[in-house]
Amino acid sequence: MASRKLLLLPGDGIGPEAMTEVKKLIAAMNADLNTGFETEEGLVGGCAYDAHGQSISEEDMAKAMAADAVLFGAVGGPKWDSVPYEVRPEAGLLRLRKDMELFANLRPAICYPALAASSSLKPDVVEGLDILILRELTGGVYFGEPKEIIDLGNGQKRGIDTQVYDTFEIERIAGVAFELARTRGNKVCSMEKHNVMKSGVLWKEVVAETHKEKFSDVELTHMLADAGGMQLVRWPKQFDVILTDNLFGDMLSDVAAMLTGSLGMLPSASLGAPDPLTGKRKALYEPVHGSAPDIAGQGVANPIAMIASFAMCLRYSFNMIAEADRLEKAISEVLNDGLRTPDIMSDGMTKIGTAQMGDAIIAKFRAL
């Protein structure tokens, strides 16, 4: 039996509540399917700071580096608002992303049929939507140098951020986009602003070259990122995989996310480069939402984002495609049955809590 090592970092607020449902699911899979998941747990965020004064310990960092995949809940909350900047809860997540070199951020926008009516867009625009935004996560304007505020001495200051991309960074993220597209709808739309940005010119050129050399079986189109934002709201179903940089991806993934409804529904994955020897990628899976201090401890948080993040883990870290499909189908069918946590509640549906939602999804998964 294959050993599959998972590091669980539940974090703060509703993180642990959502993670509890994933732990139940992992236990059920190990029992039914002999999946051989081995889990270890660590501390990240405010709870880690309370325990030992760091937002993640060296020991837990080492476990993250050694694991096949990391499942991350959420961090932060008002309790830690005044802790020093270097050890604030978010620093733990940033350290994980940086040390694991997670350059590829996958944000799917899936509209479950049962929730299409509650989108802010017309149901026929979003129903059946299943697209993937792939955002470059470790380069671009958030990291480029120089990055500073200069005093110009005449009562004026100058704020500077620098957008920088090198060929290898664009090549590797483009490679991920084309590989992902092959497992889905076989289409990539690359978004940049080559009309006004030199980094955009290079982005477009390198994506086109990578496509020509290795992935010409995938359909590639290019779009200016502002037009892309418009098209995402006008007719999102035209897309399959959207490939874009750190800054545009930050915005476009949030736009795409909101097409589908509640924050409590949205999973994500962040992937590193494949190991040259084993071909394995470092990976971290987390819901898009935060620690939701306003509802923490009440047993009402929606665990679907965390469970759907685990489905991505099955798909991308363990190549367990059938199980991932089955888990996503279980989520969809539980929603079809009318079960709702408060954040997605609507007239005529059955309101349930975190544990009941987890149990219902696990029962459906077992029955499918």
- Binding site as annotated, residues: 77-90, 97, 107, 135, 226, 250, 254, 290-302
Residue (of 238, 340, 267, 272) closest to 110 by Cα position: 267
Among residues 99, 127, 323, 343, the one that binds ligand NAI under rule CB under 6 A: 343
When CB distances are held under 5 to 8 angstroms depending on the partner's kind, the choice from Mg ion, ligand NAI, none that residue 204 binds is none
The secondary structure of 321-334 as a DSSP string is HHHHHHHHHHHHHH
Phi-psi sector, 119: left (phi>0), alpha (psi -120 to 50), beta: beta
Question: Position of tokens 């499942």?
Answer: 71
| 75 touching ligand NAI, by CB under 6 A | yes
Instruction: Detail the residues annotated as belonging to a binding site for substrate.
Output: 97, 107, 135, 226
When CB distances are held under 5 to 8 angstroms depending on the partner's kind, the choice from ligand NAI, Mg ion, none that residue 291 binds is ligand NAI
Specify which residues 268 forms β-bridges with. Answer: 286
Among residues 71, 301, 313, 327, the one that binds ligand NAI under rule CB under 6 A: 301
Rounded CA separation 105/270 (Å)? 4
| 353 touching ligand NAI, by CB under 6 A | no
Specify which residues 263 forms β-bridges with. Answer: none
- Of 250 and 286, the one with the shorter C-beta distance to Mg ion is 250
- The token pair that represents 346 in the structure block: 């609507």
| 245 touching Mg ion, by CB under 5 A | no
Specify which residues 149 forms β-bridges with. Answer: 159
| 286 touching Mg ion, by CB under 5 A | no
Residue (of 318, 270, 306) closest to 13 by Cα position: 306
- Of 166 and 254, the one with the shorter C-beta distance to Mg ion is 254
* Candidate segments 162-170, 251-259, 318-326, 352-360, binder of Mg ion by CB under 5 A: 251-259
Which one from 23, 63, 193, 204 is the annotated catalytic residue? 193
Give yes or no for a contact between 299 and 353, defined as CB atoms under 8 angstroms apart.
Answer: yes
Site residues, ligand NAI (CB under 6 A)? 14, 74-77, 93, 263-264, 286, 289-295, 301-302, 305, 343
